[in-house]
Amino acid sequence: MALPKIDLPIFDLTLPSTGEKIKYRPFTVKEEKILLVAQEAADPRQEMLAAKQIINNCLIDGNIEDLAMFDAEYILINLRGKSVENTAAFTIKDPDTEEEVQLELDIDAIKIKKNDEHTNKIRINDEYVLFLKYPTINEFIKMFDYAPNDPLADYFIMVSCLDSIASEDEVHKFTDYTQEEIDSFMDDMSADVIKQIQTFFETMPRLRQELKYTNTNDEEKTFVIEGMRSFFI
């Protein structure tokens, strides 16, 4: 006789980027093993690959390939809250005193921080508007192919987030053009447009939580957790 199949609870979650509702299940021992291997490796690339696999396994509907990076991070943190526990205790080293400080993170308290001035629309001139899309986890994984501080990594992520350019009469999707054509288009962009694209990235929604503590010098400090690190601590 076969062992019984255990049904898992299904949860709803609203994606921060679109307001779309998705369904997911908590992770099981299978995903716990993936998480533990990534934690032991302490390698950011391995952490992202593990995160992608865990999300793929646990999503009931939706496609991780289409998710904005901060959506993926938001799913991960909710997965941890539903699958393990709502709090995570960890140790940091104070940069001034070098003492070890015990901190505790409330998973449910982590929220997506949004900037009211953020926009994905950039006016190039009186005729055309450039539309940007959010980078995905796949694009962040590809960035590890570049050396640290390689300016081509910034260019790669910038170009990967070009969605379309539109006028009143026509719309051009960047997926319809070759890399050479896109590079030529970018070569003609003004410094002001590039600056606005950079602002798009700087003001993007992000997973962020501040934890306050007081060190032995009686100084109040703030430890900031952002993005996927909140899942792997």
Q: Does residue 146 share a domain with residue 100?
A: no
Model confidence pTM above 0.85: no
Which H or E element spans position 200? helix 191-202
Q: Does residue 82 share a domain with residue 28?
A: yes
Instruction: Decide: 19 and 74 in contact? Cβ < 8 Å.
Output: no
**Token pair belonging to 29:** 């021992």
| pLDDT tens track for 107-155 | 878 888 889 999 999 999 999 999 999 999 999 889 888 887 888 888 9
Q: Specify the pLDDT at position 58.
A: 92
Q: Does residue 86 share a domain with residue 21?
A: yes
- Three-state SS at 115: coil
How many structural domains is the chain composed of? 2
**Per-residue confidence at 215, pLDDT binned at 50, 70, 90?**
very high
Q: Specify the pLDDT at position 82.
A: 84
Q: Does residue 84 share a domain with residue 71?
A: yes
| pLDDT tens track for 33-91 | 888 888 787 788 888 899 899 999 999 877 788 889 999 999 988 888 888 777 888 88
Residue 2 lies in a domain: no
Return d(Cα 159, Cα 185) in angstroms, integer: 10
The alpha-helical segments, DSSP class H, found in the chain are 29-41, 44-58, 69-83, 137-142, 151-160, 179-187, 191-202, 229-232
Q: Does residue 135 share a domain with residue 74?
A: no
Q: Does residue 107 share a domain with residue 129?
A: no
**Per-residue confidence at 102, pLDDT binned at 50, 70, 90?**
very high
Q: Does residue 94 share a domain with residue 38?
A: yes
* Residue 158, domain extent: 121-202
Q: In what order do the strands lie in the sheet with 129-132?
A: 121-123, 129-132, 162-166, 171-173
Q: Does residue 162 share a domain with residue 99?
A: no
Residue 222's closest CA among 88, 111, 74, 103? 103
Mean pLDDT computed over 183-207: 94
